[in-house]
Amino acid sequence: MRELELPKVDLSGLDLTCLNQKTWAKARADIDDALKHFGAFEVVYDEVGSELRGGLFGQAVPDLFAVPDIEKLISASEVPSHELGTKVVLPSHKDPNYISIISQHNIGGLEIETSNGEWISTNPIKNSFTVLIGEAFMAWTNGRFQAPRHRVKMDRSKERYSVVFSTIPSFSNDVINPPKELVDEEHPLLFKSFKYYDYVNFRFSDEGERHNDALKFYCDA
């Protein structure tokens, strides 16, 4: 059986000052298709060069983990030898935010769940990032795009770094409401408008953690 793969969208060389070019129209259509089907895609972007990545993973991230308090956290999670082997180290979840752009270094392990419950392994290459949408963006699109569940599975004896760039609403203007163009008879409103940070507080509360679909419970229309 062929292994499932996330769709790849190549944005290398696209001119950011000229968004009405044909190449952008194709990129937008590819992204729209990927987000409708998977809520995620692999973006190839050569402009983030190996030097920048090298600086991030070769220096900035290890330096961060060398800070004493962070080191304590790492050693607290050192793995007993009987638990070695490939395991889920970050349980399946949806991100609450708009968009996560994830860069994995050397050791992959991020997996995305499809709508029929299959898991897709990501295969990050040197010039790619995994992009996935969160619950706030799903609500803003009135469910046109689904926020995918994802998890990290890896051999726990290895050292893995990943960096997540996350887009979130501003503190002063955090009400999530779909634009009126995305709500009509065929697409009735799915989520009542909600304040993002109130939802995040609920999501990570004991009660919120008990719900498999916290967003639906919190603001189902």
Ligand X SMILES: O=C(O)CCC(=O)C(=O)O
Residue 200 binding result from ligand X, Fe ion, none, given CB thresholds of 5 to 8 Å by partner type: none
User: How many chain residues touch ligand X (CB under 6 A)?
Assistant: 9
Q: Using the minimum distance from each CB to Fe ion, give the nearer residue, 42 or 95.
A: 95
Residue 152 binding result from Fe ion, ligand X, none, given CB thresholds of 5 to 8 Å by partner type: ligand X
95 touches Fe ion (CB under 5 A): yes
Burial of residue 30, with CB atoms counted within 10 A of its CB: 0-12 exposed, 13-18 middle, 19 or more buried: middle
Beta carbon of residue 176, minimum distance to ligand X (angstroms, whole number): 19
In sequence order, the 6+-apart residues with CB closer than 8 A to the CB of 31 are 9, 41
Residues 32-91 that bind ligand X (CB under 6 A): 90
Residues 95-114 that bind ligand X (CB under 6 A): 95, 102, 104, 110
Burial of residue 132, with CB atoms counted within 10 A of its CB: 0-12 exposed, 13-18 middle, 19 or more buried: buried
DSSP 21-54: SHHHHHHHHHHHHHHHHTSEEEEE-TTS-HHHHH
Site track 125-154 with ligand X (rule: CB under 6 A), x = hit: -------------------------x-x--
Q: List residues binding Fe ion (CB under 5 A).
A: 95
Q: List residues binding ligand X (CB under 6 A).
A: 90, 95, 102, 104, 110, 150, 152, 162, 164
